Amino acid sequence: MNDQQLLRYSRQIMLPQVDIAGQQKLLAAKILIVGAGGLGSPAAMYLAAAGVGQITIYDDDQVDLTNLQRQIAHGTTDIGLDKVISTLNTLKNINPDIRVLPHKARLQNELLAREVAAADVVLDCSDNFSTRFAINRACVTRGTPLVSGAAIRFEGQISVFTPGTHSSPCYNCLYQSEGEELQNCARNGVIAPITGIVGSIQALEALKVIMGIGETLTGRLLILDGLSMEWQTLRLKKNPACPTCGTA
């Protein structure tokens, strides 16, 4: 690291859990973010600020006026712009030293497999179940840690799935793969700060995974009720009969 980097990241380098070694791990890391919306915006911004060396972002949508209530990587002047380009501009303004790879595309099939294999950590910031299950399958196949988040109405959920580690369950152990496609923000609404809270926690969990510090949410589901401001933690177990990661 040069002097400018030491100064930029000084407040986290002084943490004994991070130190120089942890910061170097972040600078060398490659993170894949699927979705540049309500969750992907704060997650990407905090990862960029923390100095993650390469952030790859996939989203096939453009910025719309209805996005601006919660998708904080985009502004009014970005309306009509590809979300990945708007996010690129925001991240480079935060930290011009990192590498940002924007892709306006739906990440699926062989492309999904290649990107997951190339990443150190994957953040699922998507808003539909078919994408979530596809990402989960790719992460299980490639053995790539997955940080999953969801936000709807006043509710948020976050978990970490680390295939092959600590008998970790996968996303499919927790959720069935059909019948819930209508559960999204466009149909049910969401209060803006919930997406910020969930996305920020996803960024924190990704940093912990990369640096190998603390205790991640592997094997746990963190649930937030924003109306009562109560948190719950559910312990998750691997399902031997899971169609994605099961051994039964």
Say whether 173 is catalytic. Answer: no
**Residues 248, 200: Cα–Cα separation, whole Å:** 36
SS3 at position 230: strand
- Cα distances (Å, whole numbers) of residue 189 to 43, 144, 157, 184: 20, 31, 16, 7
| Helix boundaries (H) for 30-122 | 40-50, 83-94, 109-118
Q: What is the dihedral of CA 207, 212, 218, 224, to 10 degrees?
A: -40
Sign of the alpha-carbon dihedral angle for 124, 127, 129, 131: negative
* Host H or E run for residue 142: helix 129-142
Question: What is the 8-class DSSP label of residue 127?
Answer: S
Report the phi/psi class of residue 26: left, alpha or beta, with left for phi > 0 and alpha for psi in -120 to 50.
alpha
Q: For the chain, what is the radius of gyration of the CA atoms?
A: 17
Q: How far is CA 192 from the centre of its chain?
A: 17
User: What is the DSSP pairing of strand 146-152 with strand 155-161?
Assistant: antiparallel
Choice among 125, 185, 242, 245 that is catalytic:
185
Q: Which residues are catalytic?
A: 185
